[in-house]
Structure 1
Amino acid sequence: MNALFLAVVLSFLTGSTLGATWSYDDIPSWATNYPACAGDLQSPINIVSDDAVVDADLGNFKHALFDRPPQSMLLKNTGYTLQVDLTNGYIINDSSLLPGQFKAAQFHFHWAAPNAAGSEHLFNGNQYWGELHIVHYNTKYPDLGTAASEPDGLAVLGFFMADDYPQDNTAVERIIQPLVDDQVNYYKENATYSATFSMETFLPNNISVYYRYQGSLTNPPCYESVVWTVFSKPIRISRRQANIFETMVFENARGANDTVPINNNYRPVQPLNYRTVTRSSYCSGTGSFSMPTFHFTALCATVVGLITVPFKNSGFDKITEELSDGNAKYEGESVEISPFPINDLLQWTFLKSYYRYLGSLTTPPCYESVTWTVFEDPIYISRSQARVFEEMVYENERGHHHEHLYNNYRPVQPLNGRTVYTIDSSRLYNFDYDD
């Protein structure tokens, strides 16, 4: 690779405007100077979940992959984005996750203008406030610059960012603290973190659901050298933190006459063309607290729905009181409660009419080993009891930023050729849970 070519590649990967001839204000002209920008495998794209093909060979990303801090971390304003360069970053060497051995080199951000959305990828046609990219290079090549133009050179992990978190995300706050301290607000400014930290600290709690496709760099030179992994769960930050990105990062040097904030530093979605988007085979459950289901045996599940009424279900107080006392609120926690008959939960519920079919677990590993019994009559609880589940159960471990555990259900699946049975009304009987 000649020196001029390497300089052009590194000017993109480091975000430097040295010798660059492109701008987010004139995206249609990119292909004039960078022909690859008009290719068939361009990024970003609109990811349509229903169109994605399940790939059973795709593995499960674990947070432990990202828990090793790099040797050093340099935050810098590139004039295009805010970027963190990693020295001796972690390595992913798992063929079920990425097609080769890939080393983390940097991560950077894309975001909106105030009161707008600025993620690069869309998810089912929806655009998030922003997007974080962790850039990795294939270690078969000596460095990031060399790998950038190779068909199997790069792997980028993309995470949507939502600005709807009710409090500051402490992990992201650590990243942007030099902005608050007025150290890297202008072009070419940089700051080295006094203490490094792992990527795991700011990732979403659920990283099991993701989408995979072959694409490109999302700005010039647009090399079609990227295997993309885009996760469905976003990183959540506060509105205050989003405002720091929108108003405190500038594309000009300090002291310039005109101060221009970096906004809308994203490329519009590109045609999918003939590509296929695949997705991980892991289901979309968000936690282990399965609120209204009680499993009696490994291969048989009995389900009673919940509905709220103006009065309390005293049986459920045995559960909600523990949550109110701060027990078992966070991932991995448990508390032993005094035994009680399941029937205590079934106040005013008549377990006569029910439905039966053969199905699966509703969360990973989704084994098709379950005989399901679903009752027609619901369990009744009060709105205040429902609120305890909604507001006092978290999907993260204690000590991390709070993420409420809600919507912990899987969408309905195709019935295909199965038959659903119901009981003959002339032979109605009650299930007895007192034994």
Structure 2
Amino acid sequence: MKMKLYVGLCVIGLTLAADWSYDGHGDTKGPSDWDDVATICNGNRQSPISIPYLDVSYDSSLTSFNLTGYDNMVASSGPLLLTNNGHTVVLNVNNASATKMFGGGLDGEYYAAQLHYHWGADDHTGSEHVIDGRYSPLEVHLVHYKATAGSVSAGLLSGDGLAVLGFLFEIDEYDEDNTNLNPLINSLTDVLYKGGETSLSMNFANTMPADWSNLEYYRYLGSLTTPTCNEAVVWTVFENRIPISTAQLLKFRQLKQLASDAAQNYPLSFNYRPLQPLGNRMVTKSFETSQPSGYSWQYVGYQGVDSWSTYYATCSGKMQSPIDIPAVTSKKVAQFDSTKALNTLEFINYDQLITGTIKNNGHTIQVDVNNNNIYIHKGDLHGRFKVAQFHFHWGRNNNEGSEHTHNGRKYPLELHIVHYNESYGSLGKAAGKFDGLAVVGFWFEVGAENTNYSPIISKLPDVKFKDTNQPITGFTLRELSFPDLKSGPNQGRAYDFFRYDGGLTTPGCNEHVVWSMMVNTIKISNSQLAAFRDMLHIKDPGRPLVEKDKIGLNYRPTQPLYNRVVHASWNYEATAVGAAPMTVQSLVTCVLLMMIGVFVR
């Protein structure tokens, strides 16, 4: 049995270092010439592929896996043997009959033979498979052969003789080590050169995502991803990712392709095969929903902003938010149009005492407003828009946090007051309408403590954890924004703002929002900002909290403006070309300078 397994692994290509490589060094064949090593490498059923998420069909036969022995993959004679074969690091599973799987839509039982890793030269590439065009920095392959075949070499002769489980990795949000991987990572220095071997005792199941036998996955028929590229593999690529740190990834890239006595050695800095054409093959998935049940959109990580458009197509639309508000001298800011009468925007009952609920939804701190007679109108809005809620966006430091930027400048905090067109009756019904939503945004700057925010800041410890909420009152929207906001034709001040048409800044990114971004900023202290940054994206875990439990940052990067234009509510051309409207402070300064000039005469 051991001889059969060894021969099978040789056929897989794990001992053909003199013939092929990933970089084509010396007289080796690079990926574009692998068909010179094995003609089937140019076949029609090759791997890896880019999994086309939007073209993947549900297959009800793709059930959960039944996994045995993966927590104790050791031989009767001792622990696992980790080997550098010049292409990757391999863990050979000697007690194959005790490490096995069935289910998962597979035709019969499969025994584990070995596992190995693929990585890239940087943290943005490395995985062989990609999902919807997005690479991961590392991928592990668990190679199995069909029980009825009896060996890897025999399995290579059948279209489903091998079954490989592929798991993708992601950089940890806080770049912390995955301690479950430490036995493997720490052993890599012992196999730095080709031919290096070391024993390894590791609970492999602990390195996998929790409950990995029941995870959601993709299925297709493919090949080995190394010569001899046999088209004999039933591929399973899992949706869930495994965390890893950049320091741990670096250990893989430090491995060498040749033995320690080689006259010239080459770093094994990357070892992934380029993507192969899918052709007429079909990719199926184990979940029926439009997105995996394990997917929960985030701001960072593999479920971060880059993934949103995969599961929410509108997030890649042409009218997305936030944007960078251009300088008024930019052609992206329209000429002042007095017929729009933007400066007539009125904030009705913003001086009314708020009653509502403050809550932590895992993404932000939000206050749902109970009052039903606070609204904005005029200012080129089509109807009256009632206040529904307001929420905040922040960053990890004072150099980031706002969603909108102004001529490239970022602010540490941004407030969004969300209104809906009252003709639709509710926020939910209005969200899908072209004239359904209007959001007023405010930028913050660091300054003295803002006591108007004390009712909110004081409540934050009570909603520290996700899905917690508390009743709240004791403030007005005027106090949170500007105390003299315009509330009628001759009441209050018409603050300057930018206006554009955009979308929600969170999934599903509905493109039905009229945005008004106020020019003047609100001041808030560093300690008050820190209170927002202490909020957590998890429920109470019943354990000591760590830094990565915090929301951290919750702003979406700016989106392309495309053909949209931004309007200013004031006649900036009448004040000065490219200048912002004159503030009270600058006006007083000018008057003083004029008086000084008179006295000098």
| Band the TM-score falls in, shorter-chain normalisation | 0.5 to 0.7
Q: Alignment partner for residue 186 of structure 2, among 172, 177, 197?
A: 177
Taking structure 1 as reference, are residues 115 and 54 closer, same or farther at Cα in structure 2, changes over 3 Å only?
closer
- Worse-matched range after superposition: 38-47 or 165-174: 165-174
Question: Match of 1:431?
Answer: none
Question: Match of 1:345?
Answer: 470
Could you tell me how far 1:151 is from its partner in structure 2? 1.3
Cα separation, 1, equivalents of 2:543 and 2:153: 40
Could you tell me how far 1:65 is from its partner in structure 2? 7.2
Cα separation, 2, equivalents of 1:46 and 1:172: 27
> What residue identity is the alignment partner of 2:20?
W
Are 2:190 and 1:43 aligned?
no
Cα deviation code 1:126-146 (max 9, x no counterpart): 221121111111111222222
Are 2:112 and 1:104 aligned?
yes
Cα separation, 2, equivalents of 1:291 and 1:37: 53
> What residue identity is the alignment partner of 1:167?
E
Cα deviation code 1:308-330 (max 9, x no counterpart): 4755387774553xx6xxxx99x
Matches within 5 A, 1:188-267: 188-193=195-200, 196-205=201-210, 207=212, 208-247=215-254, 249-267=255-273
Taking structure 1 as reference, are residues 286 and 190 closer, same or farther at Cα in structure 2, changes over 3 Å only?
same
Taking structure 1 as reference, are residues 49 and 286 closer, same or farther at Cα in structure 2, changes over 3 Å only?
closer
> What residue identity is the alignment partner of 2:285?
R
Are 2:161 and 1:153 aligned?
yes
5+ residue gaps, structure 1, are 294-303, 330-341, 350-381, 408-435
> What residue identity is the alignment partner of 1:227?
V
Could you tell me how far 1:213 is from its partner in structure 2? 0.6
Matches within 5 A, 1:338-417: 345-347=470-472, 384=531, 387-390=534-537
Question: Match of 1:168?
Answer: 177
Taking structure 1 as reference, are residues 235 and 253 closer, same or farther at Cα in structure 2, changes over 3 Å only?
same
Question: Match of 1:273?
Answer: 279
Question: Match of 2:62?
Answer: 58
Could you tell me how far 1:222 is from its partner in structure 2? 0.7
Could you tell me how far 1:391 is from its partner in structure 2? 6.8
SS at match of 1:135: strand
Would you say the 8 A contact 1:206–1:286 is kept in 2? no
Taking structure 1 as reference, are residues 106 and 398 closer, same or farther at Cα in structure 2, changes over 3 Å only?
farther
Cα separation, 1, equivalents of 2:165 and 2:551: 25
Cα separation, 2, equivalents of 1:285 and 1:306: 28
Would you say the 8 A contact 1:9–1:145 is kept in 2? yes
Would you say the 8 A contact 2:144–2:162 is kept in 1? yes
Question: Match of 1:187?
Answer: 194
5+ residue gaps, structure 2, are 25-29, 297-358, 363-387, 393-414, 416-452, 475-528, 553-601
Question: Match of 1:123?
Answer: 131
Q: Alignment partner for residue 102 of structure 2, among 71, 94, 101?
A: 94
Would you say the 8 A contact 2:177–2:245 is kept in 1? yes
Question: Match of 1:299?
Answer: none
The structure showing larger relative contact order (alpha-carbon pairs under 8 Å, at least 6 residues apart) is: 1
Taking structure 1 as reference, are residues 153 and 93 closer, same or farther at Cα in structure 2, changes over 3 Å only?
same
> What residue identity is the alignment partner of 2:164?
V
Could you tell me how far 1:386 is from its partner in structure 2? 7.5
Would you say the 8 A contact 2:11–2:153 is kept in 1? no
Could you tell me how far 1:204 is from its partner in structure 2? 2.5
Could you tell me how far 1:123 is from its partner in structure 2? 1.4
- Worse-matched range after superposition: 198-207 or 153-162: 198-207
Taking structure 1 as reference, are residues 106 and 393 closer, same or farther at Cα in structure 2, changes over 3 Å only?
farther
Taking structure 1 as reference, are residues 8 and 88 closer, same or farther at Cα in structure 2, changes over 3 Å only?
closer
Taking structure 1 as reference, are residues 144 and 192 closer, same or farther at Cα in structure 2, changes over 3 Å only?
same
Cα separation, 2, equivalents of 1:177 and 1:285: 31
Would you say the 8 A contact 1:63–1:200 is kept in 2? no
Cα separation, 2, equivalents of 1:97 and 1:405: 39
Could you tell me how far 1:226 is from its partner in structure 2? 0.6
Would you say the 8 A contact 1:169–1:238 is kept in 2? yes
Taking structure 1 as reference, are residues 138 and 383 closer, same or farther at Cα in structure 2, changes over 3 Å only?
farther
Cα separation, 2, equivalents of 1:222 and 1:142: 20
Taking structure 1 as reference, are residues 6 and 159 closer, same or farther at Cα in structure 2, changes over 3 Å only?
closer
Cα separation, 2, equivalents of 1:406 and 1:317: 14
Cα deviation code 1:23-71 (max 9, x no counterpart): 2222122113312112111100001222111122222358887434433
Taking structure 1 as reference, are residues 75 and 163 closer, same or farther at Cα in structure 2, changes over 3 Å only?
same
TM-score (norm 2): 0.49
Could you tell me how far 1:149 is from its partner in structure 2? 2.9
> What residue identity is the alignment partner of 1:153?
G
Larger Rg: 2
Matches within 5 A, 1:64-83: 66-71=70-75, 72-83=79-90
Q: Alignment partner for residue 22 of structure 1, among 20, 23, 28?
A: 20
SS at match of 1:261: coil
Taking structure 1 as reference, are residues 98 and 128 closer, same or farther at Cα in structure 2, changes over 3 Å only?
same
> What residue identity is the alignment partner of 1:53?
S
Cα separation, 1, equivalents of 2:139 and 2:193: 21
Cα separation, 1, equivalents of 2:360 and 2:33: 53
SS at match of 1:105: strand
Cα separation, 2, equivalents of 1:221 and 1:81: 16
Cα separation, 2, equivalents of 1:17 and 1:398: 49
Cα-Cα RMSD: 3.8
Are 2:141 and 1:136 aligned?
no
Taking structure 1 as reference, are residues 104 and 319 closer, same or farther at Cα in structure 2, changes over 3 Å only?
farther
> What residue identity is the alignment partner of 1:126?
R
> What residue identity is the alignment partner of 2:153?
G
Identity of aligned residues (%): 31
Are 2:284 and 1:284 aligned?
no
Cα separation, 2, equivalents of 1:261 and 1:148: 30
SS at match of 2:33: helix
The aligned length equals: 333
Q: Alignment partner for residue 307 of structure 1, among 372, 378, 391?
A: 391
> What residue identity is the alignment partner of 1:44?
P
